[in-house]
Homo-oligomer: A and B are copies of this chain.
Amino acid sequence: MLHTVNKSPMERNTLERCLQYAKKGSAILLIEDGVYGALKGTTVTDKVRKAMKDVTIYALYPDIEARGMQDRAIDGIKLVDYGGFVDLVAEHRNVQSWL
């Protein structure tokens, strides 16, 4: 299953809930303000790093770049463009958008 998160983890509980729900082997794609969850040095970085042991985390690079965060993504987070987003949806049986 693919989960998408589009909210800043500093402001809302969305990413945290998604991390609790994402099963081992599933994928999480961070988009829009959700990409703030993909960054090093924040108060949620540790939580995300820990989750990466069980799930694969992707982030939409156009959204990272728009926000000036090009060099700040946590190592191991996979950066994708819109085409990569499409591939992720195609590769997974279903998608849950955490709104």
A interface residues with partner B (beta carbon < 8 Å): 10-13
Residues of B within 8 A of A12 (CB): 11-13
Docked Cα-Cα span, A13 to B10, in Å, equals 8
Docked complex Cα distance between A9 and B13 (Å): 10
With a cutoff of 8 Å between Cβ atoms, the chain B residues found around residue A10 in the complex are: 13
A-B pairs with beta carbons under 8 Å apart, 5 shown? A10-B13, A11-B12, A11-B13, A12-B12, A12-B13
Give the CA-CA distance A13 to B9 in the complex, in Å: 10
CA A37 to CA B11, docked complex, whole Å: 16
CA distance A13 to B11 in the complex (A): 5
CA distance A10 to B45 in the complex (A): 21
Q: CA of A59 to CA of B13 in the docked complex: distance in angstroms?
A: 23
> In the complex, what residue of chain B is closest to A17 when comparing beta carbons?
B11
Measured CB to CB, the closest approach of chain B to A20, in angstroms, equals: 14
Question: Contacts of A13 on B, CB cut-off 8 Å?
Answer: 10-12
